[in-house]
Chains A and B, each alone.
Chain A
């Protein structure tokens, strides 16, 4: 069967050099994944993208009440990752984690045949996917993706663009 993601688990083996006293504390990062989940990667993408930027408690709560089948699998994986964080990665409080990265990837598709009426056959794809998650210690940021600019920012951007203009072949100032 498909071996699964090869780089993702290696990120856990990264060892940082000791921090200097004046440096801000580097938060713990926990990389976890599950390979060859019997689910469509396109469907899993919706669940993976939904929980990005949530705290782990909020993600588990929301996934518990989501009707899709993939949400149950992702919840299991998150609980596993939370457990590993406390045991192996030196995280003190299991609630003090947030979902920094959440990805769905394609695994192998197995092809099969299905019979239709009048001896007509169609191809069926049995889809498998991988799910990768990175938990980070701390509270989640306010905005995971950059928010749309407010009116003041839009005005500043507008002025900056006009002031950036140069006269071609003009004098150097």
Chain B
């Protein structure tokens, strides 16, 4: 039933296109009294002619839009099924797998691992904690603000 509906739609569309082009040309599709003002190489076969539909030759007629657009009314659609081999290669092939890192080194002070050419995270955390205690005592928010106390001498005292 859906196929029949689509066929009817196509016939209607072809008919509309022929009428439209006839209007643009200046004479109706079948000519005036069967005579065409300009000699046409291809005589118009009006789509709603029952003979066309009974023959099946309606299906051979292509509208201008069909010729321009090509196969199908829908664009940007997959043409062929992607095989399972291609699907798996795309998802699980070497380009998608995780690669191990070779730039992880041991810290000489604490023994934790860290990215090479960067500070050890564990050591940095210790430094941060110490700095926070000093900053709380100096009552400053940022380490850069310590120079504001330059009028006073600040000594950090480490208690045993």
Interface residues of A (CB under 8 A from B): 46-47, 49-50, 61-62, 64-66
Contact = CB atoms under 8 A, between A and B. Distances in A.
A46 B115 contact: no
Contacts of B104: 61-62, 65
Contact of A46 (B98, B100, B101): B98
Interface in B83-109: 92, 96-98, 100-101, 104
B129 to A, nearest CB: 20
B113 interface: yes
Given A61-B104, A65-B104, A46 B113 contact: no
Dominant secondary structure of chain B at its interface with chain A: loop
B97 A49 contact: yes
Interface in B34-55: none
Given A46-B96, A50-B100, A65-B104, 14 more contacts: A46-B97, A46-B98, A47-B98, A49-B97, A50-B97, A50-B98, A62-B101, A62-B104, A64-B113, A65-B101, A65-B113, A65-B115, A66-B98, A66-B101
B33 to A, nearest CB: 54
A46 B101 CA distance: 15
Nearest to B101: A65
Contacts, number: 21
17 contacts: A46-B96, A46-B97, A46-B98, A47-B98, A49-B92, A49-B97, A50-B98, A50-B100, A61-B104, A61-B113, A62-B100, A62-B101, A64-B113, A65-B101, A65-B104, A65-B113, A66-B98
A61 B116 CA distance: 13
The 5 A-B pairs of least Cβ separation, nearest first, read A50-B98, A61-B113, A62-B100, A46-B98, A65-B101
Interface string B72-88: 00000000000000000
Interface in B63-77: none
Nearest to A62: B100
B116 to A, nearest CB: 11
A148 to B, nearest CB: 12
Contacts of A61: 104, 113
Contacts of B115: 65
